[in-house]
Amino acid sequence: MSPDRMQQESSNMTGEAGLLIRADATASMGTGHAMRCLSLAQAWQDAGGFCLFVMADVTPAVRQRIGAEHCEVVALQASAGSAADSDQLTGLARERNIHMVVVDGYQFGADYQRSLKSAGLTVLYIDDYGHADHYASDLVLNQNASANERLYPSRETYTRLLLGPRYALLRREFNAWRNFARDIPSTARRVLITLGGSDPENLTTAALDALASVKLENLEALVVVGGSNPHFESLRHTGLKLADRRNMKIDVRRDVTNIAELMAWADVAISAAGSTCWEFCLLGLPALLIDVAKNQTAVARELDRLQCAVHVGSAQDISVERLSRELEQLLESQELRQALSARSRELVDGEGARRVVSALRGQEGIHLRPAREEDSRLLFEWANDPEVRASAFSSASISWEQHVQWFAAKMKDPDCRILMAEDACGKPIGQFRVQWRGPEGGEIDVSVSRGCRGRGYGSKIVHLGVEAAFEERSTDANALHAYVKPENDASQRVFASAGFRSLGERNVNGHRAIHYVCGKEQS
């Protein structure tokens, strides 16, 4: 930034098409975090982008599933949520020129979010119950029906909340089922059992035991387990024994890829109260919910309160007797199933992933335009902002008369270019100026308006401004220079994330300054 109009800011660099996803999947924690992120990755791909998963822990089945969607998986060599984790993540983002990051997992707290933001990244944090002490991400997504603003009392002023099933993340395969017309038979016979990708408590066996106690005849059951479930063989054996004893059809399948089709086949479901709930809602499938983890309790209770599903208890206290009783009632009551199906379909429309992608892309809806005469007053106000003057090499206030003369001269100067930065709505948010100085290149100045600071605009403006400057002087300009006070950490991060190299210190107007440079080949 130039000596005369130095801007101190906290900012990040946003990208055009890359999305980096930080999530893990293990048998103990389950696979839900990674799988809902896969839904978002698919929507990002559909919008023309590419995705990279970064994982400290991942089961072979989940790795294979992600790979099947043409997403690369990179192993992270650090303890999940640690400082080393965030350092490796930001290093990878810089190496791959990816500026948008999705983080999903309870091991990523306030410090982790701050670390990513300070590295100049735009961050979407996927949450379930407001577990972090503070939220510093640009976007916080909580897709649960129980989500509300009160869960996030401590957050940055720029943090935007995406709350409720309106933003439910459904995989691409569900797109074809948005207008599915469900048949509600007088007595239900087809039961889908799905209790998570890993089911460490082996609740699937309890569900089969409950099914065995139902008095209705001619039942059919599909038992779906994830590729990370260690009980697959024993469940198959249990299913065969039960089918023989009760003369019912039971099919146990692992790691299916047509779950939407199976949900359409079923009349009712027994399910964990995770992300699968939103899939049930889209297809209007009446379900009995078991909260198998702490973060699922509020979801199950709220869906029960809304009469979109029936909450039958938690993994710790569910009894086979109660589960069997609730299942039999649901199978026999057409009226109950009709009500559950209708209300659940009102909750989820299948457009959630697209809405989240739109919100993410809205973070990068910045463009630059040439300054006009009517911008003079705004530039004057920005230049005299107290924080700007305090961080400038010349801290004295600028008079209106001085500014008018300066602005008129710069607008006529063929070696000066002033570009105004605007957001997607056309609101001015900052400026980029380059003063060309012959063979040595150009010296740049950047500023962001007070109300827009801390939202990651600075690096984006630098990124766009550098591209525009080199494009304009494509034949006779090879470098751009900026000068930053050593104590101005925020601006140093901006330039580092925008690809500038530090050439060390020099003297500017009697002040120490760090000299940054960006060559045309670096831009």
Q: Is residue 422 within 8 Å of residue 43, measured between CB atoms?
A: no
**Range from 19-33, 114-128, 443-457 carrying the lowest mean pLDDT:** 443-457
Residue 158: closest CA among 196, 108, 122, 115: 122
43 lies in the same domain as 160: yes
CATH code of 27's domain: 3.40.50.11190
Same domain, 400 and 326: no
Do residues 288 and 398 both lie within one domain? no
Q: What are the distances in angstroms from CA 383 to CA 51, 379, 399, 403? A: 39, 6, 10, 9
Is residue 2 in some structural domain? Answer: no
Tell me which of 328, 362, 396 is where a domain ends: 362
Q: Which of 404, 388, 393, 479 is nearest to 434 (CA)?
A: 479
Do 125 and 204 reside in the same domain of the chain?
Answer: no
Quick check: 288 and 310 in contact, CB under 8 A? Answer: yes
Give residue 451's pLDDT band: very low, low, confident or very high (50, 70, 90): confident
- CATH code, domain with 435: 3.40.630.30
The beta strand positions in 301-460, using DSSP E, are 310-314, 367-370, 416-422, 428-436, 442-448
Pairing mode, if any, of strands 367-370 and 416-422? antiparallel
> Is 487 among the domain residues?
yes
Nearest to 466 by CA among 492, 502, 441: 441
Which of 110-124, 222-236, 383-397, 482-496: highest mean pLDDT? 110-124
Total number of domains constituting the chain: 3
Q: List the single range of 56-60, 64-68, 87-91, 477-481 with lowest mean pLDDT.
A: 477-481
479-484 and 511-519: which strand pairing? antiparallel
* pLDDT for 244: 87
DSSP code for 159: P
CATH number at residue 211: 3.40.50.2000
Q: Are strands 416-422 and 428-436 parallel, antiparallel or unpaired?
A: antiparallel
Shared-domain flag, residues 445 and 457? yes
0.75 surpassed by pTM: no
Give the mean pLDDT of the chain: 88
CA dist., res. 15 & res. 52, Å (int):
13
Contacts 24+ apart (CB under 8 A), 470-474: 470/520, 470/523, 472/417, 473/436, 473/442
Of 296, 314, 347, the position where a domain reaches its end is 347
What element of type H or E holds 511? strand 511-519
* Integer Cα distance of 156 and 394 in angstroms: 31
More confident residue, 29 or 173: 173
CA distances, 235 to each of 222, 291, 452 (Å): 12, 20, 56
Minimum mean pLDDT among 157-161, 189-193, 400-404, 492-496: which range? 492-496
In the β-sheet with 367-370, what is the strand arrangement from edge to edge? 367-370, 416-422, 428-436, 442-448, 479-484, 511-519, 501-508
- How far apart are alpha carbons 389 and 239 in whole angstroms? 74
42 and 181 fall within a common domain = no
**Any domain includes 107:** yes
319 and 455 housed in the same domain: no
Domain match, 230 and 343 both: yes
CA count, 13 A, side-chain hemisphere, 109 = 7
Question: What pLDDT score was predicted for residue 310?
Answer: 98
Tokens 């590729």 label which residue?
A: 227
512: three-class secondary structure by DSSP: strand
Give the pLDDT of residue 27: 76
* Domain-located, residue 240: yes
* 40: nearest Cα among 275, 274, 245: 275
Residue 285's pLDDT is 98
Q: Is the same domain home to 280 and 249?
A: yes
pLDDT, residue 48, reads: 82
Same domain flag for 357 and 380: no
Asked if residue 300 is part of any domain, the answer here is yes
Distances (CA, A) of 182 to 107, 284, 288: 39, 7, 18
Q: Is residue 6 part of a domain?
A: no
| pLDDT score of 278 more than 80 | yes
Contacts of 154 (CB under 8 A, 6+ apart): 133, 134, 135
Name the range with the highest mean pLDDT among 59-68, 302-311, 482-491.
Answer: 302-311
Residues 193 and 145 grouped into a single domain: no
Residue 165 lies in a domain: yes
CA 390, 486, 99: angle at the middle one, nearest 5? 95
500, amino acid identity = F
Tell me: do 394 and 467 sit in the same domain. yes
Tell whether 409 is covered by a domain.
yes
| Overall average pLDDT of the 419-434 stretch | 86
Q: Residue 229 sits in which domain range?
A: 174-347
Q: How far is CA 416 from CA 231, 326, 344, 406, 471, in A?
A: 69, 75, 59, 12, 14
